[in-house]
């Protein structure tokens, strides 16, 4: 086994490892080739230094790890579990996190991946929080919605709205434990520049001349899913029904577009958001957990 930096042509082989892991952990793929290429092309990511693959003796890729601002993800092909690949990837990820100046080591693992969980616990990590994938069927459609009094809803205009939505996103989530500050360019790159962003299914909420909230929607065509990438409401306009109106407007748009399901992710330490999603008919399907340990314990 050897570690090396990936190159763009490795993307299909890396995706195959990720999909095989998803099938075991989740029962369905949670990543596409376009998602992977989007991530590799982000302006704050360097493929030569921020990712690594593990090659077996026959040069097949059997493991992959990536380090970004939110933390690290390491994936081992299920068919080679127990061969020490995780023990190769974890030190690499910890070294890279240290080089990037992260304050803690952080790893993402599907909750059903008990082997991965036990490996991290044995390495001194502790579970920090969870992220639920929430879903709602659109088989029976979704009714149109009127916004709360004083608000208006309209589709996203990427060029016109970008600066205001970036500022609103910062104001809405800065108090969250897992918040990470993004520059305007990073926000554009990762969210507004995503290959599957659908401006027509995304919704912007205004209150007079002010931006009050927004929902960015991605259209997962092959899966028939409308995925809510971000739902943000400015603090002064929270608890007035705008969040649920943005969601319901998006669900109506998803159903009208022929999508069969709505989906999004929510952190376990955001109970108010979890209650909002349950209130509009969403339910948890599966969970990812994050495991952390202090940087001082793993810096090398």
- The pLDDT tens digits of the residues spanning 131-176 come to 999 999 999 988 888 999 999 999 999 999 999 999 999 999 888 7
User: 98 with 30, same domain?
Assistant: yes
- The pLDDT tens digits of the residues spanning 50-62 come to 999 999 988 899 9
User: 8 with 117, same domain?
Assistant: yes
User: 164 with 254, same domain?
Assistant: yes
In a domain, 164, yes or no: yes
Report the percent of the chain where pLDDT is more than 90: 85
On the question of pLDDT at 270 being above 90, the answer is: no
User: 63 with 178, same domain?
Assistant: no
CATH number at residue 95: 3.40.630.30
User: 21 with 120, same domain?
Assistant: yes
In a domain, 282, yes or no: no
User: 16 with 58, same domain?
Assistant: yes
Residue 59 pLDDT: 86
In a domain, 264, yes or no: no
The whole domain housing 107 covers 2-131+289-298
CA-to-CA distance for 244 and 242, rounded, in angstroms?
6
In a domain, 281, yes or no: no
pTM: 0.91
User: 119 with 14, same domain?
Assistant: yes
How many independent structural domains does the chain possess? 2
In a domain, 155, yes or no: yes
Token output for 79 = 């068919």
On the question of pLDDT at 299 being above 70, the answer is: no
- The pLDDT tens digits of the residues spanning 64-111 come to 999 998 899 999 999 998 889 999 999 999 999 999 999 899 999 999
- The pLDDT tens digits of the residues spanning 166-217 come to 999 999 988 877 778 899 999 999 999 999 999 999 999 999 999 999 999 9
More confident of the two residues 19 and 297:
19
User: 127 with 171, same domain?
Assistant: no
User: 154 with 59, same domain?
Assistant: no
* Side-chain half-sphere exposure of 190, counting CA atoms within 13 A: 15
User: 160 with 63, same domain?
Assistant: no
Residue 34 pLDDT: 96
User: 127 with 148, same domain?
Assistant: no
Confidence of residue 298 (pLDDT cuts 50, 70, 90): very low
In a domain, 234, yes or no: yes
Token output for 183 = 């520059």
User: 98 with 194, same domain?
Assistant: no
DSSP codes, the chain: -EEE---GGGHHHHHHHHHHHHHHHTSS----HHHHHHHHT-TT--HHHHEEEEE-TTS-EEEEEEEETTEEEEEE-GGGTTSSHHHHHHHHHHHHHHHTT-SEEEEEEETT-HHHHHHHHHTT-EEEEEEEEEEEE-TT-----PPPTT-EEEE--HHHHHHHHHHHHHHHHTTSTT-----HHHHIIIIIT-TTB-TTT-EEEEETTEEEEEEEEEEETTTTEEEEEEEEE-GGGTTSSHHHHHHHHHHHHHHHTT--EEEEEEETT-HHHHHHHHHTT-EEEEEEEEEEEEHHHH--
On the question of pLDDT at 297 being above 90, the answer is: no
In a domain, 276, yes or no: no
In a domain, 272, yes or no: no
Burial class (CB in 10 A: 0-12, 13-18, 19+), 284: middle
Scanning the structure block, which residue is given the tokens 């609103």? 168
């Amino acid at each position: 086994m050897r570690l090396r930096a990936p190159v763009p042509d490795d993307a299909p082989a890396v995706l195959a490892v990720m999909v095989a892991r998803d099938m075991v952990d989740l029962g369905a793929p949670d990543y596409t080739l376009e998602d992977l290429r989007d991530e590799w092309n982000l302006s704050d990511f360097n493929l030569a230094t921020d990712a690594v693959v593990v090659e077996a003796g026959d040069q097949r890729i059997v493991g992959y790890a990536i380090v970004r601002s939110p933390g690290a993800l390491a994936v081992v092909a299920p068919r080679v579990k127990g061969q020490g690949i995780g023990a190769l990837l974890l030190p690499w990820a910890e070294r890279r996190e240290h080089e990037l100046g992260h304050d803690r080591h952080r790893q993402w693992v599907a909750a059903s991946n008990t082997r991965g969980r036990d490996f991290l616990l044995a390495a001194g990590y502790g579970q920090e929080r969870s992220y639920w994938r929430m879903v709602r069927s659109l088989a029976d459609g979704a009714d149109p919605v009127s916004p709360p009094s004083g608000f208006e809803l309209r589709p996203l205009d990427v060029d016109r709205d970008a600066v205001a939505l970036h500022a609103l996103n910062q104001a809405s989530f800065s108090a969250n434990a897992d918040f990470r500050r993004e520059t305007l360019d990073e926000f554009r790159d990762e969210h507004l520049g995503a290959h599957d962003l659908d401006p027509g299914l995304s919704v912007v909420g205004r209150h007079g001349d002010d931006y009050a909230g927004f929902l960015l929607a991605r259209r997962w065509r092959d899966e028939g899913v409308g995925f809510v990438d971000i739902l943000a409401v400015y603090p002064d306009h929270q608890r007035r029904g705008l969040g649920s109106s943005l969601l319901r407007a998006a669900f109506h748009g998803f159903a009208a577009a022929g999508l069969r399901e709505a989906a999004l992710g929510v952190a376990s330490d955001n109970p108010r958001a979890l209650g909002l999603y349950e209130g509009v008919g969403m339910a948890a399907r599966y969970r990812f957990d994050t495991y952390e340990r202090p940087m001082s314990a793993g810096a090398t």
